[in-house]
């Protein structure tokens, strides 16, 4: 990378829907522990892959009504993520 004059910077790697899953959902408000349980349940119900075969996470994005929150839920199959990380490392980059 240095030989090519490319400077180091953080970058995002994004994939198409065929390798992962993203959804915006509205959930009922509750305490933090309750929200975590509700989102874990939503992930199990909505991710189109077996939940034990994916890496998933969520972000609360606000919006919704006074009694609900909007949540962005993302998931990618673990084996695909490992392959992407291996390709990134083979290119001399460091996955984050």
pTM score, whole prediction: 0.65
Helix, strand, coil shares, percent, the chain, to 5: 30, 30, 40
Dist. CA 84–CA 66, nearest whole Å: 40
Domain residue limits, the chain: 20-87
Would the pLDDT of 53 be above 80? yes
Say what percent of the chain tops pLDDT 90.
Answer: 10
- Of the two residues 31 and 53, the one the predictor is more confident about is 53
Looking at the domain 20-87, which fold is it? Answer: Dna Ligase; domain 1 (3.30.1490)
């Amino acid at each position: 990378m240095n030989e090519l004059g490319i400077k180091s910077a953080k970058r995002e790697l994004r994939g198409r829907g065929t390798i992962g899953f993203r959804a915006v959902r509205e959930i009922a408000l509750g305490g933090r522990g309750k929200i975590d349980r509700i989102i874990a349940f939503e992930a199990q119900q909505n991710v189109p892959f077996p939940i034990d075969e994916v890496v998933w996470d969520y972000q609360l994005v606000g919006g919704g009504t006074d009694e609900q929150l909007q949540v962005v839920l993302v998931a990618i199959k673990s084996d695909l993520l490992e392959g992407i990380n291996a390709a990134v490392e083979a290119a001399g980059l460091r996955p984050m």
